[in-house]
Amino acid sequence: MPLLYEGKAKRVYSTDRADEVRVEFTDAATAFNGQKRAEIEMKGVVNAAVSARLFQWLGEHSIETHFVEQLDDRNLLVERLNMVALEVVVRNWVAGSLNQRTGIPEGTPMDDPVVEFYYKNDALGDPLLNDDHIRLLGLASADLVARLRQEGLRVNQVLKPFFLQRNLVLVDFKLEFGWNSAGLLKLGDEISPDTCRIWDQTSGERLDKDRFRRDLGRVEDAYQEILRRVMN
């Protein structure tokens, strides 16, 4: 079927149903807004399987997602969504840009999660926005922003214990939402080591895309370890 969209690490194809698309996960890896690129062996297989497992888990806990079924080791069938142009980032521990912006040491746990919004715009580098910026750009109403925040926190409440049961810490993660053909807001995109920071609870070892961003090595091993634990 025709290719509808090709992103940094996924391809989206039409299907014989207007309200469903096929998402193919590739081994391509990018960082720093596409400035760093590489291929990570079997990354697409890991991200497809982990995303499917986590979407299923969220669905079992009354969170609406676009997931329909996993077609094969790299392809998911999902509902077609009209995406909101905002990334919702939920942070449980200080890491990455939050450390850089606040000076709080990386690895500091927070009593309450921090929710941030980023503008999905590659040309601008996906900048951090506050509520006034979102209003100025006309990206979402105040009610929708409040709902996205609430949904992000709900996902966090479901995923944190899931990972802790597997001796993993969910440091932070990115979510994307969109509207389906019936006008329902649903969680879309993916949930994987590409979109989450996940650390081993005992050792603190990073088991996510930061291994690629920071040239820490053993990227493939880290992704496979996440797959092994998530599927158990």
Are residue 46 and residue 75 in the same domain, yes or no? yes
Q: φ and ψ at 56, to 5 degrees?
A: -60, -45
Dump pLDDT digits (tens) for 121-134: 989 999 999 999 99
Are residue 47 and residue 99 in the same domain, yes or no? no
Q: Say if residues 32 and 213 touch (Cβ distance below 8 Å).
A: yes
Give the other-Cβ count within 10 Å of 92's Cβ.
20
What's the structural domain count of the chain? 2
CATH, residue 45: 3.30.200.20
Q: Which residues form the domain of 207?
A: 82-218
Dump pLDDT digits (tens) for 170-212: 999 999 999 999 999 999 999 999 999 999 999 999 999 999 9
Q: Can you give the pTM of this predicted structure? A: 0.96
Q: What whole-number distance in Å separates Cα of residue 230 and Cα of residue 51?
A: 10
Q: Say if residues 42 and 192 touch (Cβ distance below 8 Å).
A: no
Q: Is residue 231 part of a domain?
A: no
Say what the pLDDT of residue 31 is: 87
Q: Look at residues 9, 24, 5, 23 and name the one whose alpha carbon lies nearest to residue 78.
A: 23
Q: What whole-number distance in Å separates Cα of residue 142 and Cα of residue 138?
A: 10
CATH, residue 136: 3.30.470.20
Residue whose structure tokens are 């062996």: 41
Are residue 69 and residue 87 in the same domain, yes or no? no
Amino acid at 185: L
Dump pLDDT digits (tens) for 60-116: 999 999 999 999 999 999 999 999 999 999 999 999 999 999 999 999 999 999 999
Q: Look at residues 206, 194, 195 and name the one whose alpha carbon lies nearest to residue 168.
A: 206
Q: Is residue 59 part of a domain?
A: yes
Q: Look at residues 5, 7, 9, 6 and name the one whose alpha carbon lies nearest to residue 223.
A: 9
Are residue 121 and residue 70 in the same domain, yes or no? no
